[in-house]
Amino acid sequence: MIYKSQYGDIFYKIQGPENAQVVVFTHGMGADHNTFDPQTAKIGEKYRTIVWDMPEHGKSFKSGEDFNFSVAAECLAGLLDETGTGEAVLVGQSLGGFISQYAAIKYPGRVRAVAVIGSTAMDRGLSRAEYLLMKAYSFVSMLIPWRMIKFFVKKTIAKKEATRRYIEKRMEKEGRKQLLAISRGTKKAIYKGMQKPVRHPLLITHGENEILFPRRKFKKWHKRSPESEYFVIPAAGHVANQDNPAEFNCILLRFLEKLNRK
C-alpha cells in the first residue's frame, strides 16, 4: 500500500486483527520492510502489524538528499494517521531503532512503548571519538571496492547465511551512492542526539555477537531507564531478529503481553 506524505510516497503493509494493539516495525539502514518477515506472521496472529519502507529506502521516495531523521519520524507519525492508529508500539532495528526513539520523543502521545534491536540511546548522542570513527569509516567506504564492502558488511553484522543474503541483496538494490547518503544523515543525527530520554516502556535487545556498538552502551541505557527491559539474543549478530527470530519473537511477545496487563 502507498501513503502519500507531503515529501513523497511511503510504502507500507498492514495485517492482523483490526482492533488489536498496533505494532510498527522500522527497518535498518539500507534495508526494507522485509527485514521483519520473520516477525509479522507470528506477531500478526495477535497484534495489528505495520511494516514500511522509510524515506530513501526500498519502495518509498528517494529525495536525492541525505537521510533526515525529522522527515522519517514525521512520515512515521503520518503513517499512524493514514492507518487510523492512535497509539502504537514502535519496534526498530538499528537505524529503525533510532527513528523509533526519535518519533517517541517528538510525538510522545502517539507511542505506547519502544523496542529496539541493535540500537543505542538517542538522548546521549555519540562521543567525539565515535563520531570521528564513523566519519573515517565512511571515507574508507568510498575508496574500497564495492564488492569488498558488501562482503565485509554481510559477514560482520549477521550470523545466519539467509540474513547475509538479504543484506547483500539490499545493498545491491540501493547502491553505494544511496547508502552513503543515508549514512551521512544518520551520523549527523546520532552525533547530535535528542538531548531527551525515551519516557515510554522500553525493550532493549541486541545479538550476542553485536559488532557496531559495545555492550556497555546497552547496559548503561537499561540501568538509567527505570521502565526498561534488557535481553541479549543468543546466536545472533546486529540483525538479531533475522539471525534468531524464534528467540526475538518470544521476547517481543512477552513484552507486548506485559503492556496489555498494565
DSSP structural state of residue 159? -
**pLDDT at res. 138:** 66
How far apart, in Å, are the Cα atoms of 125 and each of 128, 145, 197? 10, 30, 11
DSSP E strand stretches across the chain? 2-4, 9-15, 22-26, 48-52, 88-93, 111-117, 202-207, 228-233
pTM to 2 decimal places: 0.95
Q: For the residues of 87-150, what is the DSSP string, one character each?
A: SEEEEEETHHHHHHHHHHHHSGGGEEEEEEES---TTT---HHHHHHHHHHHHHHTTS-HHHHH
For each of the chain's 262 residues, which pLDDT tens digit applies?
999 999 999 999 999 999 999 999 999 999 999 999 999 999 999 999 999 999 999 999 999 999 999 999 999 999 999 999 999 999 999 999 999 999 999 999 999 999 999 999 998 777 777 667 666 666 666 678 888 888 888 888 999 999 999 999 999 999 999 998 998 899 888 888 887 899 999 999 999 999 988 899 999 999 999 999 999 999 999 999 999 999 999 999 999 999 988 7
Count structural domains, the chain. Answer: 1
**How far apart (Å, rounded) are the C-alpha atoms in residues 192 and 179?**
20
A 10 A CB-CB count for 148 gives 10
Which residues make Cβ contacts (< 8 Å) with residue 173, sequence separation at least 6?
Answer: none
Which residues make Cβ contacts (< 8 Å) with residue 139, sequence separation at least 6?
Answer: none
**pLDDT at res. 133:** 65
**pLDDT at res. 195:** 79
Domain, as residue range, for 159: 2-261
138 Rama sector, left if φ>0, alpha if ψ -120 to 50, beta otherwise: alpha
**How far apart (Å, rounded) are the C-alpha atoms in residues 15 and 66?**
31
**How far apart (Å, rounded) are the C-alpha atoms in residues 4 and 60?**
10
CATH number, position 57: 3.40.50.1820
**pLDDT at res. 123:** 87
Which residue shows C-alpha cell 562482503?
Answer: 151
The β-bridge relationship of strands 111-117 and 2-4 is unpaired
Helix then strand then coil, % of the chain, to nearest 5:
50, 15, 35
> Residues, the chain, total?
262
**How far apart (Å, rounded) are the C-alpha atoms in residues 259 and 220?**
23
Q: How many CA atoms lie within 13 A of 106 on its CB side?
A: 19
**How far apart (Å, rounded) are the C-alpha atoms in residues 10 and 235?**
33
- Give me 55's grid cell: 524515506
- Give me 58's grid cell: 526500498
Q: Is the dihedral of CA 156, 158, 164, 167 positive or negative?
A: negative
